[in-house]
Amino acid sequence: MKKILLTSLLLLIACLSYSQKREFRGAWMQVINGQYTGLSTAAMQQKLTHQLDVLQADGVNAIIFQVRPECDALYASKLEPWSRFLTGEQGVAPSPYWDPLAWMVEQCHKRGMELHAWINPYRASTASTKVFAPNHIVRTHPERVFGYGGQLILNPALKENRDYICQVVADIVNRYDIDGLHIDDYFYPYPVAGQSLPDEAYYKADTRGFSNIDDWRRDNVNLFVKQLYATIHACKPWVKFGVSPFGIYRNQRTDPKNGSATNGLQNYDDLYADVLLWVNNGWVDYCVPQLYWEIGNRAADYKTLIRWWDKFAANRPLFIGESIDRTVKYADPANPNSNQMPVKHRLHQEAHNVNGTVLWYADEAVRNVGNYGEVLRTAYWKHPALQPLMPFIDSKAPKKPRKVKVIMTSDGPVLFWTAPKGKKWGDVAVKYVVYRFEPGEKVDLSDASNIVAVTSDTFYKLPMNNGRTIYAVTALDRMSNESKAKKVTVK
């Protein structure tokens, strides 16, 4: 179907829409599609810089960067080989040498963005990978891997594999200043017709009291998720653990009480992922169900699913995984002259517990597919947004910035401030919010339209103007708790 562009009227309405002050605005940056494979160091950095600049202009405040697609690494690791999706050959380091994860952390933080490291925990290889480095787990421990659907999978039944994945994650969390650790929807592999999972012997050898293999498999995944959560927070309590499950938990025909009015693959029954158990037990810090379908999809209607997740998964921050392509490809059933971006946005606003979006995927926003990126930057995400609060991790705000003053430099007026004092990790300021108010205007920190910058710097270059202007600066800690404001009047 031809992509349908927004009409001028709809764009105007969008520009007038309410802008939330706290909202997770993420984008998945995948590597497994080969967009960076074989690029020189300079070429990849140039491409990533362009993508980050555009995403920042679009209002994105969190990047979810794929760093471990198949038990490999897009970072310096002593545990796993360099990824072929980086250099073209598994185990070969980039030349000239660089560390993409370290570089991305620095670049995102410089732009006021969070960086969440995205790993695929169980996948040992995709179907197209045929050559493995000597230190890849397929070579070092082939007994802990099974083949299914053309891929190789770390057997979820084995404690050694759970421990191994957690060891890899601890290494990432301890050595890199990431803001989050993110896993996607690959638990047990997606079912393939005519194939069975080769784990029945493991079940019979140790049923752990489960009367059927399905419950046993779910428990294998539950044990892993709980252990991974504990591992991350034992290393750094502020690193958020996020999971992005397939968009259907269960269908109503399977579970009349808790299922959705859908007819598709099920997390609980087909992938053995009991996502609601993790959310309700607090084993994850945020949840991003992948609602990649359109409104009106006969098997998995978007409107049905966003309302289902809003009702059933509210015990942890809930963000929605959004397909850019399908959103702009399909018309709004109630308004054939518009694509589905405005109506999906309204569904987000109507939901009581949805407080964010993650774009699938980043490069489509960068390429402005269906005008999606342009509408974000001029309408829905026109004003900056702070990260949603997570009081179950930390709720205490840092002290306000000190010594806020304006200094005239050779480059014009610059607003400077000093970081507040803080001893513990929850008291230390890591970012700052700069607000701007016109003369006579009420100093209202709740209105996101007053935000002019979210920055890790302790300065902000001011525009030249002839009138009196009030600026206010607040401090943010690692959990985005915001301090009181320190104000200054600029003449």
Domains and CATH numbers, the chain: 8-380 (3.20.20.80), 402-490 (2.60.40.10)
How crowded is residue 125: how many other Cβ atoms within 10 Å of its Cβ?
Answer: 24
Instruction: Annotate the chain with three-state secondary structure.
Output: CCCCCCCHHHHHHHHCCCCCCECEEEEEECCCCCCCCCCCHHHHHHHHHHHHHHHHHHCCCEEEEEEECCCCECCCCCCCCECHHHHCCCCCCCCCCCCHHHHHHHHHHHCCCEEEEEECCCEEECCCCCCCCCCCHHHHCHHHEEEECCEEEECCCCHHHHHHHHHHHHHHHHHCCCCEEEECCCCCCCCCCCCCCCCHHHHHHCCCCCCCHHHHHHHHHHHHHHHHHHHHHHHCCCCEEEECCECCCCECCCCCCCCECCCCCCHHHHHCCCHHHHHHHCCCCEECCEECCCCCCCCCCHHHHHHHHHHHCCCCCEEEEEEHHHHHHCEECCEEEEECHHHHHHHHHHCCCEEEEEEECHHHHHCCHHHHHHHHHHHHCCCCCECCCCCCCCCCCCCCCEEEEEEEECCEEEEEEECCCCCCHHHCCCEEEEEEECCCCCCCCCCHHHEEEEECCCEEECCCCCCCEEEEEEEECCCCCECCCEEEEEC
100-110 helix and 41-58 helix, angle to the nearest 10 degrees: 30
**284: Cβ contacts below 8 Å, ≥ 6 apart:** 225, 229, 241, 242, 243, 278, 316
- pLDDT for position 215: 98
Rounded to 5 degrees, φ, ψ at 436 are: -130, 135
Token pair 């009047």 in the structure block, residue: 489
Among 344, 321, 341, 346, smallest CA distance to 329 is for 341
- pLDDT for position 19: 67
- pLDDT for position 370: 97
Token pair 């202007």 in the structure block, residue: 469
- pLDDT for position 3: 45
302-312 helix and 341-350 helix, angle to the nearest 10 degrees: 20
- pLDDT for position 424: 94
Is residue 54 a contact partner of residue 366, using CB atoms and an 8 Å limit? yes
- pLDDT for position 94: 97
Rounded to 5 degrees, φ, ψ at 224 are: -65, -50
Render pLDDT for 249-287 as a digit per residue (tens, 0 to 9): 999 999 999 999 999 999 999 999 999 999 999 999 999
Q: Count of alpha carbons within 13 Å of 67, Cβ hemisphere only?
A: 29
- pLDDT for position 466: 62
- pLDDT for position 439: 85
Is residue 99 a contact partner of residue 60, using CB atoms and an 8 Å limit? no
CA dihedral 456, 459, 465, 468 (to 10 degrees): 100
pTM of the complete model: 0.96
Is residue 150 a contact partner of residue 127, using CB atoms and an 8 Å limit? yes
Spans of the chain below 50 pLDDT: 1-3, 5-18
Taking the C-alpha atoms of residue 236 and residue 238, their distance in angstroms, rounded to an integer, is: 5
Q: Give me the percent of the chain exceeding a pLDDT of 70.
A: 96
- pLDDT for position 12: 43
